[in-house]
Structure 1
Amino acid sequence: MECLRYQCLVWSVFLFLWVAGKAQQTLSNSTYILHQILLKNYNADIRPCLDCKTPLFVGIKFHLTALNKIDEIEGELSTVGYLKVVWSDERLTWDPTSNGVGNVMMPSTKIWTPIVLLGNPSKEIIHLNQDDAIARVLYNGTVIWHPGDVFRSRCEYDVHSYPFDKQSCSIVFTPWSYLASEITFLAASDHADTAFYQENGEWKLGLTSSSTYTKKQSSFVRFHFNFIRRSEFFVVNIIVPISFLSFLNCLAFAIPIQSGERVSYTITVLLSFAVFMTLVSDNIPKTSAPMSLLCYYLTSLFSGSVLIMTCVTINMSTFYTDPSIDVPPRYVRLHKMVTRGKRRKKLDERKRHVNCVSNDTRQSVQNSNEADGTTQNVTVTWHEVAAALDKIGLIVSLTYFSCITIGMILYTTRSKL
């Protein structure tokens, strides 16, 4: 009994596989016959139209899969993606109930397909890699086609806020050689599809949009993309080192003049600024409309470094002036202004000391203090003048670089918002 059941099960499996194979063979035969019928007397050079007085509407949807590169220097946007192109061909219709086939795949070289051209190429005019894409034809004549390629489109960049900039670029498609009265492109969606998009390490993808327009009797569909630069790399590797370098430049006034290392120190810092300016200039467009704010920032720091080197050289000349030459009164007043706090502190210490002595002694000390502060001539040497100039240079340079850096930070923060 069990053996009989086993034999029945085996024969049932064989019968099912035989029926499935026959059905598959019948379906394959039906698809082959359908291909022969549809392509018989079919002319792929003529656009599908029963009433050619009306335009053929072609739906376009762009699928962005990757961002290769945004080249600000060349003004080029390189992306990878594919299009979903949909139109209706009345010559490719059939009754699915007669053969059980609802759709067939056909090579794009055997049926009519629109020649989709990149409307804003960066270097050369090319059409999509459409010969390798296979089209799906539905029983009602709807043709769905997915050509893909690497798109190198033209884009105008605004690098004023570099490296905290946002860029807006577009990819435009148009039917080659056809007028808008013959073929009209329609955006199948109000935005580009990014379901398969892979994030870029340098740029973050923002909002996308799509639109259609007609220009000079030609139909165009535009896909607009917003990209936001990821500025962390530039902040860590350019802006932060430059900021630290600018404050190190101020320490030139703290180096003793007798060491003889001041000039070499300032020249080293100056050359470092020049290197950073070269690095930045190699990564931004050579344009003046507008120029990057970072270029102005580097130029300001470079100018401050040149000014510090000049002041250091002049101050060294002051330090080594012949002691036999009298110090001009303006330098004496400058020295008094800088050292006023020290002299006032010295007078306060003398007054506290007066409280510990007798009245007669106190009166004599006060008279001496008054003489020191008002009537006695103060002798100022060239070394003291140089020290006062160093103090002024340190304060002014720190204030200068701090104001420029804080202003840069506030401006870029406001632009990002």
Structure 2
Amino acid sequence: MKGRALIPMASQVILLCMLVCFGGVYGTQDEYRLLNDMFANYSNIIRPVERSADPIDVLIGAAIQQIIDMDEKNQVITLNLWMRMQWTDSNLKWNPADYGDTTVLIVPIETIWRPDIVLFTNADSSFNGMMMTSASISHDGIVRWNAPAIYQSTCKIDITYFPFDEQHCSLKFGSWAYHGFQIDLKNRTTSGDISAYIDNGEWTLVGMPVKRNLLFYNCCPEPYPDVEFTVIIRRRALFYFINLLGPCVLISLITVLDFFMPADAGEKVTLGITILLALTVFLLLVAETMPPTSEVVPLIAQYYACTIVLVSLSTVMTVYVLSLHYRLPGTNRVPRGMKKFAFSFLARIMCMGSFLVNMGDDDDENEISQNKSHAGVYENTFLSHQNGIAIMDDSEKKSSEESSVVSKRFESMTHDIMTNLKYIVKKKKDEDAEDDIMTEWKYVAVVFDRLFMWVFLLATTICTLAIICQPKPFTGPNEF
């Protein structure tokens, strides 16, 4: 055998001991003789080619067995892969007829030359790679090495459509020391083997395409080929829908109840602030599960932020309604334009009842008629008292002229009584006017409260549809 370098005798002894321990005792004499002949002058250091200018074609493939973990915070994916490599060793060829028709030989991988294939996107600090399993050698020099491996690889997480997202994690394998003129790395198939894949509870495996890249680095003029496996996984969104999106939708619906709560209850602002705090807590839970990035804002974060803004605006609306409802005594009447807008326009389009509409149409006339009737009643009351006093005065004058002093005193007392009576009537009249003004403001507050409720519902619906219906690439039906 040409081009073979001598290896130390200790290595040969170790090889023979391993072969004897792992089945050499029960092997045939032909296999024992084949091992002695092949590894007598074999070196597992020198690249096994007949001419130094010839490259070795290395075929690499992989079968994904399990997605162990997806660390989105650190953007690292852990996979269980079954690696499959194949190359031709020109120093490991024999004629089967010379060794009892032995066509295949199984040897430990440490005893033969193997390409230094490493994971370029490795994220494991210990750099653990493939398990050192045995390799299969055929009589024509083709070496097949299949070995399981657990890889931790970097994975660029795109959280734009979280939790309805799809991730593309690339695993690049290549030779670290040999360039493309020494090892020509190629992919065995156009896609990875997913037949033995074990389903993951959080992710659905969509596919595993494979492609070959030929890159030139600044360090070296030679090309460096690599094989890139792209693991495409889609998130199962049922868990996040139940635990994150569902509560947010329910909290948004509870906000509508804030507009139905009477202003006299005194809990409208408290309910709005409580809802705002609950949304903030859920937003913090979402932020803990996603990587801290400022490149994109995920859909769920957009939805929570939009909901928080709308709930904050609803609290501002509630404060405005309360300011209309609780007016201090002595305040001005409702402006005529505001009254017409609230009672004649808003109340009609929101179907709030004919009594509010009638207030906007006939309120001024009713007010004038009521004032006139009150004035007439007060005037008649005053005249009746004056007539009574006049009658009493005439009778007293006719009875005796000596009672003038008593009559003057009685007139003074009557005058004081009429003055107090006028004050009481005026006070009652002012109180009635204040009550009418306060009632008008309360009715205006009810109308605006109903208006703000419909504005909140409309804004929530528009924002939700705008966020959910954002265009995204279609890659197949989403699985919960």
TM-score with structure 1 setting the length? 0.82
Distance change >3 Å, CA 303–CA 318, structure 1 → 2: same
How many angstroms apart in 2 are the aligned matches of 1:158 and 1:26?
A: 56
Q: In structure 2, what is the equivalent of residue 30 of structure 1? A: 30
How many angstroms apart in 1 are the aligned matches of 2:225 and 2:272?
A: 62
* Residue 162 of structure 2 corresponds to residue 162 of structure 1: yes
Distance change >3 Å, CA 52–CA 321, structure 1 → 2: same
Q: In structure 1, what is the equivalent of residue 273 of structure 2? A: 267
Q: In structure 1, what is the equivalent of residue 138 of structure 2? A: 138
SS in 2 for 1:93: coil
* Residue 460 of structure 2 corresponds to residue 401 of structure 1: yes
Distance change >3 Å, CA 209–CA 395, structure 1 → 2: same
Q: Is contact 1:164-1:416 (8 Å) kept?
A: no
Q: Is contact 1:78-1:153 (8 Å) kept?
A: yes
Q: Is contact 1:118-1:125 (8 Å) kept?
A: no
How many angstroms apart in 2 are the aligned matches of 1:150 and 1:370?
A: 77
Structure 1 residue 340: Cα displacement: 3.6
How many angstroms apart in 2 are the aligned matches of 1:243 and 1:407?
A: 15
| Stretches of structure 2 lacking an aligned partner (at least 5 in a row) | 1-23, 217-222, 369-435
Structure 1 residue 328: Cα displacement: 3.7
* Residue 101 of structure 2 corresponds to residue 105 of structure 1: no
- Listed as ranges, the matches of 1:331-370 within 5 Å are 331-336=338-343, 337-340=345-348, 345=354
Q: Is contact 2:347-2:356 (8 Å) kept?
A: no
How many angstroms apart in 1 are the aligned matches of 2:153 and 2:25?
A: 47
Structure 1 residue 168: Cα displacement: 1.4
Amino acid paired to 1:339: A
SS in 2 for 1:120: coil
Deviations 1:56-83 (A, max 9, x none): 1001111111112233321222211121
Residue of 281, 286, 291 corresponding to 1:285? 291
User: Higher strand proportion, which one?
Assistant: 1
Deviations 1:90-110 (A, max 9, x none): 111112223232211111111
* Residue 331 of structure 2 corresponds to residue 325 of structure 1: yes
Q: Is contact 2:340-2:360 (8 Å) kept?
A: no
Structure 1 residue 89: Cα displacement: 0.8
Aligned residues, how many? 374
* Residue 87 of structure 2 corresponds to residue 87 of structure 1: yes
Q: Is contact 2:47-2:113 (8 Å) kept?
A: yes
Distance change >3 Å, CA 318–CA 374, structure 1 → 2: closer
How many angstroms apart in 2 are the aligned matches of 1:328 and 1:25?
A: 108
Q: Is contact 2:76-2:154 (8 Å) kept?
A: yes
Identity of aligned residues (%): 24
How many angstroms apart in 1 are the aligned matches of 2:355 and 2:316?
A: 34
Structure 1 residue 303: Cα displacement: 0.5
Residue of 258, 279, 287 corresponding to 1:252? 258
How many angstroms apart in 2 are the aligned matches of 1:257 and 1:346?
A: 20
Q: In structure 1, what is the equivalent of residue 300 of structure 2? A: 294
Q: In structure 2, what is the equivalent of residue 120 of structure 1? A: 121
How many angstroms apart in 1 are the aligned matches of 2:205 and 2:79?
A: 12
TM-score with structure 2 setting the length? 0.72
| Stretches of structure 1 lacking an aligned partner (at least 5 in a row) | 1-23, 351-368
Considering only aligned residues, what root-mean-square deviation do their CA atoms show, in Å? 2.8
Structure 1 residue 373: Cα displacement: 7.2
Distance change >3 Å, CA 51–CA 68, structure 1 → 2: same
Q: Is contact 1:27-1:101 (8 Å) kept?
A: no
**Bigger radius of gyration among the two:** 2
How many angstroms apart in 2 are the aligned matches of 1:414 and 1:94?
A: 54
